Amino acid sequence: MLVGVCDFPGSYAFPPAGYGGIERWLWAVAVGARAAGAEVHLLGPGWLPELDADWVRKPVRLEDVNAGSLAEHELKAARYDLLIVGHEYPSLSAWVRTWSQLDCDVATFQHSPVFHHTGTAFDGKRSRLYCYSPEMVERYAAHQPMAELAVHLGLDEEEPSAVKGQDLVWLGRIDEEKAPHLAVRAAQMLGRRIRIVGPVFDVDYVRRHEQIFSADNVQWVGELGGRAKTAAISVASVFVYTYERTYVEAGAAVFGESLRAGTPIAALTWREGTCAQAALCDRTGVSAIVSPDADDETASVALAEAIERATALDCAVVQTVGQHRFDPRRHFEAMAAR
């Protein structure tokens, strides 16, 4: 099988070393495809040039290919079986025009809860859409989505063997949608230290919660990548997951990252059917479901209770389950199957 994994214009590298969403997913699929025995081409100019030593990299984007051009001829001659692409592209007419000439399947994962597809983007067979959670499947029901847990990888993020960690960790982009102040407040209630890892996307949000974020139990780490990022997760006793009441998590990279490292998760959710419920089981984490009408203090109490319960979970079991459920090869094979 020949698989083409397509990049897209953006500010992050392919694969990214630290923060990144769809970019990390595309890299995980490429790694998983190779592990499954497929031949893989990295399509587009965004892939890091240093990958050339080990990968076939073709710096062309389908949406930029002109009809009848040499680039189109070369793409057709390659005879791809499957293209893996960001979720916007099966609805992009220029991309679809080139894809239609290649006589291959296309698969993508929905990483946005608000993007609107064209009515002909997916047929559930030759063009396939995958969604993480029941609520995402419901949102995109018109496009015949299939449920699948997304896998994300960055460079040099191989997980060490699980160890019983110390303190707590929260990782992600720091803004109101991700609501890390709730994780910090829950940690305060327990008298636990918490490390906040990630880039600040919303300075005003941080200022509004300055009293909480400046507490003695908080360590601001900043954005990490590679082995440092993996280590920050693996040395924690619990990964604390939060988000804002009306936000819909679409891709949820952190679940796979944490569970593969052997770090159990305490998740605050506001309803059933979210990524947390899809990703976790009673061996890997605890979800606290709180009414969205509850105030922050009530929500933090529920999250603190979930942290205490998650602390008791066996890290070795967490890692075993996590590495099976969030395995790149398994993920690719699920998406490659019609």
DSSP per residue, 29-50: HHHHHHHTT-EEEEESTTB-GG
Query: What pLDDT sits at residue 317?
Result: 98
- Asked if 232 and 194 count as a contact pair (C-beta separation under 8 A), the reply is no
Average pLDDT over residues 227-250: 96
CA atoms of 40 and 277, how far apart (whole Å): 33
- Mean pLDDT of all residues in the chain? 95
Tokens 């970019």, located at residue: 23
What would the two tokens of residue 156 be?
A: 């040099």
Candidates 3.30.465.10, 3.40.50.720, 2.70.170.10, 3.40.50.2000; CATH matching 166-322: 3.40.50.2000
The 10 Å CB-count burial string (b at 16+, else e) for 276-291 is bbbbbeeebbbbbebe
* Domain residue spans of the chain: 2-154, 166-322
Per-residue pLDDT tens digits for 246-271: 999 998 899 999 999 999 999 999 99
Per-residue pLDDT tens digits for 278-294: 999 999 999 999 999 99
**What topology is assigned to 2-154 in CATH?**
Rossmann fold (3.40.50)
CA atoms of 235 and 213, how far apart (whole Å): 21
CA atoms of 178 and 197, how far apart (whole Å): 12
Average pLDDT over residues 195-223: 95
What is the pTM assigned to this prediction?
Answer: 0.94
CA atoms of 155 and 18, how far apart (whole Å): 8
CA atoms of 160 and 79, how far apart (whole Å): 38
Q: In sequence order, what are the beta bridge partners of 197?
A: 171, 222
Tokens 């679809």, located at residue: 96
- Identical fold for domains 2-154 and 166-322, yes or no, is yes
Res 157 pLDDT > 90: no
